[in-house]
Amino acid sequence: MAEHLWTVLCERTLVDTQNQVISLVDIIETLASKGLEQRVEEAKRIGKKGAILETRLLLVSWWYRDNPEEKTVQARFVLHTPSGEMVMEAPASLDWAPDSNMLRLFVNLDKIPVAEFGLHWFSVQRPKVLKSRTRWDTVARLPMSIEKV
């Protein structure tokens, strides 16, 4: 089974094509947008849960496999509000290269739903197959604060 090593939220990456070394640029810990508070309030006033924040974010996740027979890594990234509500789910799947035990998953996030402000959490999850169903186990959590401007 694939092992999660790390996941980072950033704006962009640079990858050296010769040696595949990655640089994570503009690591994100906080999001804020002028007028977001008013957009959230207006959305709630007309019966919606919140507003959408347009972003250019990237979740970069690094995985390891100890079983070369494993063909695909599956994961999902779930965003939880400060009150614990799940507001976004981003599934990801990628085939392992035959000669590699390391793999990077890249998930583009161009929209973040905002219903409340404060500390949000991205959960990194992988599937665990049980007798007749699949359960998603959280293997890491990343904090992200959404603040009023």
Please count the other Cβ atoms lying within 10 Å of the Cβ belonging to residue 116.
15
Which pLDDT score, from 0 to 100, does residue 62 have?
95
The CA distances from residue 39 to 48, 54, 96, in Å, are 11, 12, 42
The CA distances from residue 24 to 12, 119, 143, in Å, are 6, 22, 17
Residue 9 binned pLDDT confidence (cut-offs 50, 70, 90): very high
| CATH, range 3-147 | 2.60.40
Phi and psi at 143, nearest 5°, equal -80, 145
pTM of the model: 0.90
Boundaries of every domain in the chain: 3-147
For the stretch 41-89, pLDDT in tens is 999 999 999 999 999 999 999 999 999 899 999 999 999 999 999 999 9
